[in-house]
Amino acid sequence: MTQTRDIFQAIADPTRRQIIGMLAQKTLNVNAIAKEFDITRQAVSLHVQFLNDCGLIVIKKQGRERYCEAKLAKLNEVTDWIDQYRKHWDNKFDSLENYLAKIQKKEK
Amino acid sequence: MEKYNTFRQEENMLIHTRILDAPRDLVWEVWTTPEHIKEWWGPNGFSLTTKSMNVEPGKIWDFIMHGMGRDWDSKIEYVEVKKTSLLFYKHSGVQGEDYNFTVSILFEEVEGKTLLTMKSVFKSKAIIEELNRKVNAIEGGKQTLNRLENYIKILESKNHKKQ
C-alpha cells in the first residue's frame, strides 16, 4: 500500500511547522534548516521529504545542494479555527432566528 | 430589509453581525433565560442543562452541554450587563488564562428588528493564530485516525473474502 501524505499530516508535527515557518521567509538548503534543530540532519531531511511529498515545498537541486522553497498556497486547504468559529456562530444565529420565529408565531 | 450577516477579523477581535426579525426585548430574553437559551445555544445535536444562571456583573451562567456521548461543563462569567442593550461576558477555558476570551453582544433596535453585534476579543492576534494551528494539528490527527479506520475495514473485508 502506498501511503498518501496530506497537508494535515504535514502540519500536525511541530518540527515541520517550524520548517514551513523558516522557509516561508526564505529559501534554504537542508543543512541550513538542520542547523536550527537539535535533531539529526537525517531526521530533518525526512521532514523535508514529507513536506515535499504533500506539495508544501519544492526541492530544487543546484549542484550538490538541495534548496527548499515554500509553496504556501497549499495551506489554503486547511480549515482553520476562525472558520470553525464563524460557522459555529452562523449556525447558532440560524437556530436563534428559527427559535425566535417559532415563539413569535405562538404569541400571535 | 436586506440581509445583514457579516463576519470579519480585526486584529485580536472576531466580529459577527446579524439582524434578527424580533423585537429587542424578546431577543434579550432569549439570551438571558435558561428555558430559552437551551433551545438554540450549543453545537447542533447537543442538549443543554443550566445549573444556575445569574445575569449580573460578576455572576455566572453554569451549564452542561450533552453531546457526542459525554457531558461538557461550561461556565460563563458576566462582566457587564445593560438590560436589553449589552451583554459582556468572559469565557474561561481549561487551557489556561492566555486562551480566555471575552465576548460582547450589542443589541440594537433597527426598524422593529434587532441588530446583534457580537465581538469576541482574544488576548492577542497571535493567540488566534495559535488556535488555528492547534486545530490544524487536531484535524491532522482526526484524518490519520479516519484513514486507519478505513484501512482496517479494507483489511477485514479482504479477510472475509478469503474465508
Residue B27 confidence (pLDDT) above 50: yes
Q: Which CATH superfamily is domain B6-123 in?
A: START domain (3.30.530.20)
What's residue B1's pLDDT? 44
Please indicate whether, in this complex, the C-beta atoms of A82 and B26 are within 8 angstroms of each other: no
What's residue B98's pLDDT? 78
Contacting residues for B17 by C-beta, under 8 A, at least 6 apart: B4, B5, B6, B7, B115, B116, B117, B118
pLDDT tens, residue by residue, B76-128: 999 999 999 999 999 876 566 777 889 999 999 999 999 999 999 998 988 88
Contacts of B151-155 spanning 24+ positions with Cβ under 8 A: B151/A1
pLDDT tens, residue by residue, A24-43: 888 999 999 999 999 999 99
Taking contacts as CB-CB distances below 8 angstroms, the residues of chain B near A11 are 133, 136-137, 140
The interface predicted TM-score (ipTM) is 0.76
Nearest residue to B77 via CA among B98, B101, B48, B97: B101
User: Between A85 and A1, whose confidence is greater?
Assistant: A85
pLDDT tens, residue by residue, B42-52: 877 788 999 99
Give the range with max mean pLDDT: B62-66, B130-134, B145-149: B62-66
Taking contacts as CB-CB distances below 8 angstroms, the residues of chain A near B44 are 91, 95
Closest residue, chain A, to B155 (C-alpha): A1
Measured in angstroms, the CA of B37 and the nearest CA of chain A are apart by 9
- A10 in Cβ contact with A23 (< 8 Å): no
